[in-house]
Amino acid sequence: VLSIRGIQDEDPPDPQIMRLDNMLLAEGVSGPEKGGGSAAAAAAAAAAGGSPGADGGIEHSDYRAKLAQIRQIYHSELEKYEQACSEFTNHVMNLLREQSRTRPISPKEIERMVAIIHRKFSSIQMQLKQSTCEAVMILRSRFLDARRKRRNFNKQATEVLNEYFYSHLSNPYPSEEAKEELAKKCAITVSQVSNWFGNKRIRYKKNIGKFQEEANLYAVKTAVDAASVSAQASQANSPATPNSGSVVTGRDREVRGARHNWPSVVRVREGLAGRFIAHQRLLWWAGRSAR
């Protein structure tokens, strides 16, 4: 015999379920039309198209496809839940009607028992809605989050920012004037420049060894650029001898040859001097003998 004494009347709607319903309605997963996944998908697509400025990423095809899958799964499971709840409720009501043959059971008591069944099933409904909301939030964070919507800078802008960073590695904190200049060169905003340098400093401190090779590359690049500018400036300052660095004159060959053969030249000169002195001594001795 089923006892229903002391059972309270149906409780008001659960506030947590109400919050989940509002969220699913705002995301377009659920709505007034509950004709299955296709009807909900159409309603959500209309809601998304009505306010394209709210979230530009809502137009993303992958997002719409995955959101449609979530809607389809949600409404499919919701239909299964409603069907199971209805079947179990009808089964209990049939049992109560059969039991009413042995003892009196009023319709009010049957309604209260049905309310108890619905409260028991509401926990399953809450789990379904909660898991659906979590799936939607994960999807939004993957496709519509601000960090996902940002676009990477082009190669030229990255080169300019990295070159400034590594050339000022001792104090990689550009001034406001430098930020404005970099923003103009890279065709980005000053805020993006500030964010880039903040993230770069954090990554560099965490992986100093990894970025050391990159720093060396930019140091070599800076040195090569400086040497190229210096060479161009020196050529501009001496227009009369544009190829003085590559042309070797005859005088240069003589000087280089003299430097190369310096020991042999010294020996030749010493030999000639010795012969001259010996010749002078011979003449002096011959003159003395003639006297």
* Size of the chain in residues: 291
Does the pTM exceed 0.75?
no
In this predicted structure, what is the pLDDT of residue 203? 86
Phi, psi of 150 (to 5 degrees): -65, 150
> Looking at per-residue confidence, does 100 or 287 come out higher?
100
Q: Tens digits of per-residue pLDDT, 152-164?
A: 788 899 989 988 9
Residues 241-286: pLDDT tens digits? 444 444 455 545 544 554 444 444 344 444 545 555 555 555 555 5
Which residue type occupies 77? E
More confident residue, 224 or 206: 206
Most confident by average pLDDT, 5-14, 71-80, 235-244, 265-274: 71-80
Exposure letters 244-260 (e unless 16+ CB within 10 A, then b): eeeeeeeeeeeeeeeee
pLDDT of residue 288: 55
Q: Which residue segments constitute the domains of the chain, with CATH numbers given?
A: 15-149 (no CATH), 155-225 (1.10.10.60)
As a whole number of angstroms, the distance between CA 68 and CA 71 comes to: 5
Tokens 């020196």, located at residue? 234
Q: Considering the chain, what is the average pLDDT of its residues?
A: 71
Query: Which stretches does DSSP call E strand in the chain?
Result: none
Q: Quick one: average pLDDT of 218-223? A: 71
Q: What's the confidence (pLDDT) of residue 112?
A: 87
Contact between 21 and 126 (Cβ < 8 Å): no
pLDDT at 199 over 60: yes
Average pLDDT, stretch 95-116?
85
- CA distances 235 to 63, 187, 222, 226, 248, Å, are 60, 34, 20, 14, 17
On the question of pLDDT at 3 being above 80, the answer is no
Q: For residue 193, name the pLDDT band (cuts at 50, 70, 90).
A: very high
Phi, psi of 58 (to 5 degrees): -65, -20
In this predicted structure, the answer to whether residue 194 has a pLDDT above a threshold of 80 is yes
The pLDDT confidence band at residue 150, using thresholds 50, 70 and 90, is: low
Q: Which of 59-63, 126-130, 262-266 has the lowest mean pLDDT?
A: 262-266
Task: Extract long-range pairs of 2-7: CB within 8 Å, 24+ residues apart.
Answer: 2/95, 2/96, 2/99, 2/113, 4/109, 4/112, 4/113, 7/112, 7/113, 7/116
Residue position matching structure tokens 């890279």:
186
> What's the pLDDT score for residue 237?
63
Residues 10-36: tens digit of each pLDDT: 556 678 888 888 888 887 787 654 444
Between 151 and 183, the more confident residue is 183
Largest Cα separation within the chain, whole Å, is: 180
Higher pLDDT, 111 or 215: 111
